[in-house]
Amino acid sequence: MSLDIATFSSTFTKNIAKAFYNQADDAMKYSVMSQIFNVSDSSEYTASFTSTEASNGTDWVTESNNYPESSLEKGYKTAFESAEFGHKLMITKKARNKVKDSTEKVLELWNKQKNYAITALHGFLERNTTGIFNEAFSSTKYLAPDGQTLISATHERKSSVTTRSNLVPTQVLSSTVVDIVEKTGGAFKSADGEQMPLNFKYCMVKKGSSASRIALKLFAARNAQGQYSPTTIGAINIYE
């Protein structure tokens, strides 16, 4: 059976497009990007974000005191511009002739193209997300608002002359390193010197690497069913 262009476009293209969008949503939902970053829809072409390096103004007062004025010490302003990525699906006339242009075989060919595109999309998301962290120490492509690499011992604050570091000792992953990271987060201070502890949610390691195997041993233990479950390391339960 042969398909005219109108029937093919109105029926199969729409069905494949709907299936692609559904699978693309799943690829985004289960990608490392959605696990690390807050991914949401936006109608804004360009969005800006200004961080807060310190917040003060609340203090003890008596009935006759003037209330202290609230103030925010703003950090750098960052603009996020819209960028597009895409993937084209195309079935040539030659390809249609090879399957004799039958409804069933053309649909099968479309499904294969769609599945390849989803695989390519998932890989694209993973590479571009992990690329930010892979190049966090030395990249000129991914830079912090102060012009430093994302991970640096000399990040400059905008609201004061002080610097801060988000670089911990570059040692092999171990319980000692985990303790250092936790202590570093707990000792973090705002630009005005007030306590501003940080909470860490993720430990990123390369899949299949020695670091990934160490991470499993550090952060989880297998139960009787062979599944991993939370464990306590040095009185710190990473999952609580």
d(CA 211, CA 207): 8
Q: For all residues of the chain together, what is the average pLDDT?
A: 75
**Is residue 133 over pLDDT 80?**
yes
Q: 238 with 215: CB under 8 angstroms? A: no
pLDDT in tens, 142-193: 888 888 888 888 888 887 777 778 887 677 888 888 888 888 888 888 877 8
| Whole-prediction pTM | 0.62
What single-letter DSSP state applies at residue 12?
Answer: I
**Distance from chain centroid for Cα 176:** 26
pLDDT in tens, 53-79: 777 767 777 776 677 666 667 888 888
**Is residue 83 over pLDDT 70?**
yes
b/e map of 156-167 (b: 16 or more CB within 10 Å)? bbebeeeebebe
